[in-house]
Chains A and B, each alone.
Chain A
Amino acid sequence: MIVELNGQTEQLPDDATVADAVKAVGVNGETRGVAVAVDGEVVRRADWVTTPLADRQAIEVVRAVQGG
């Protein structure tokens, strides 16, 4: 499937889950301070492995950065 991953068009396997998207971004999903939204809605960490993605979805994987 084709998805928008952090603003980039990416090809993922058809059975990809949210956890696969996190891996594709290259961050360690185990660490605190990482969160994911699919089409603007947050997917809880506990549900990453069981939440399938669909073609054309927009996925945002964010992490803590310094800020004021």
Chain B
Amino acid sequence: MAEQRVAREAEGAEGAGFELGGRTWGSRLIVGTGGFRSLESMEQALVSSGAEIVTVALRRADPTAKGSALELIDRLGKFALPNTAGCYTARDAVRTAHLAREAFETQWIKLEVIGDDRTLFPDAVELIEAAEILVDEGFTVLPYTNDDPILARRLEDAGCAAVMPLGSPIGSGRGIANPANIQIIVEQASVPVILDAGIGTASDAALAMELGCDGVLLSSSVARAKDPERMAVAMRGAVEAGYVARRAGRIARRFHAQASTPDDGIPELG
């Protein structure tokens, strides 16, 4: 019974649904669609992940491109969340958001404004400016941000629907480099916090949830895994496990051991 109750809890039932952008979602895992070796591999992974929200990008139309990722996403009944990947300035990001609104008929935008192509770290100044403009225009803005609590607060103040701090650089698979900062961001935020970028394997995703994040957005760790479908299953389990563990309340860390077996009644054997 308890197992069933907790399983339902993890899946978002019993009031544990995940509120984001004025909608309630069952899955706390958001999956990027970039980096898959084939559309078939992407389809298997998206289905196995249980994700309801998946990210997409916009690029110059290329009539020779094979297959349509968007058709597949629509067929699977997933919500396509457009991003502004590749934008370096607020101006470019705002224009890309306008194109995305037209292309996908949604006001939702995963806002990325990067500072350079080696680190792909966000440009804080341009990011804030773009967020303010897009919120004013009525967008539901989900900004990819640094693991900087002050910047996260500024984005929330600007009216963003969530804050999405990186764990470590995009595609690096280095996990959560500064868990303390993520914890501070979680503590102070009154909008959902979604760990975005840097996830390498399932334990990273579980840690994000244990730190109190409301969700995890990942892409490369699944798409570039040896077996993306399997890794998607692992990530789904990790996000659910981390979420339930957070609610269960972990024990405090101790330096020394504390026996779990009572000392009373130990027999004298010799």
**Residues 30-42 of chain A, each 1 if its beta carbon lies under 8 Å from chain B, else 0:** 0111111100111
A61 contacts B by Cβ under 8 Å? yes
Cα A45 to Cα B99 in complex, Å, equals: 11
B152 contacts A by Cβ under 8 Å? no
Contact B60 A62 (CB under 8 A): yes
A68 contacts B by Cβ under 8 Å? yes
B55 contacts A by Cβ under 8 Å? yes
Cα A50 to Cα B42 in complex, Å, equals: 38
Contact A62 B219 (CB under 8 A): no
Contact B98 A42 (CB under 8 A): yes
Q: Given known contacts A67-B32, A68-B33, is B103 in contact with A33 (CB within 8 Å)?
A: yes
B1 contacts A by Cβ under 8 Å? no
Complex contacts, A6 vs chain B, CB 8 Å: 60-61
Most buried by B among A41, A45, A65: A65
Cα A55 to Cα B32 in complex, Å, equals: 39
Kindly list 19 other residue pairs between chains A and B, CB separation below 8 angstroms, not including A62-B103, A68-B219.
A6-B61, A7-B60, A25-B61, A26-B63, A27-B63, A31-B71, A32-B74, A33-B56, A33-B103, A42-B102, A60-B99, A62-B61, A63-B61, A64-B80, A64-B103, A65-B56, A65-B59, A66-B56, A68-B55
Contact A66 B61 (CB under 8 A): no
B residues near A (Cβ < 8 Å) are 32-36, 42, 55-63, 65, 68-71, 74, 80, 82-83, 85, 95, 98-105, 170-171, 219-220, 223
Chain A residue nearest to B72 in the complex (CB): A66
Contact A64 B98 (CB under 8 A): no
A44 contacts B by Cβ under 8 Å? yes
Contact A37 B99 (CB under 8 A): yes
Contact B95 A64 (CB under 8 A): no
Contact A25 B63 (CB under 8 A): yes
Complex contacts, A62 vs chain B, CB 8 Å: 58-61, 99, 103
Chain B residue nearest to A28 in the complex (CB): B63
Complex contacts, A25 vs chain B, CB 8 Å: 61, 63
Name the contact of A68 in the complex, choosing from B65, B68, B85, B100 (C-beta under 8 A).
B85
Complex contacts, B99 vs chain A, CB 8 Å: 35-37, 42, 60, 62
Most buried by B among A44, A64, A68: A68
Contact A67 B57 (CB under 8 A): yes
Name the contact of B83 in the complex, choosing from A41, A44, A61, A68 (C-beta under 8 A).
A68
Name the contact of A64 in the complex, choosing from B63, B85, B104, B171 (C-beta under 8 A).
B104
Most buried by A among B59, B85, B95: B59
Cα A40 to Cα B158 in complex, Å, equals: 25
Q: Given known contacts A42-B102, A64-B104, is B68 in contact with A35 (CB within 8 Å)?
A: no
Complex contacts, A63 vs chain B, CB 8 Å: 58-59, 61-62, 65, 70, 103
Cβ-closest 7 pairs across A and B: A67-B57, A68-B32, A26-B63, A68-B219, A35-B103, A64-B70, A68-B34
Contact B104 A32 (CB under 8 A): yes
Cα A64 to Cα B100 in complex, Å, equals: 9
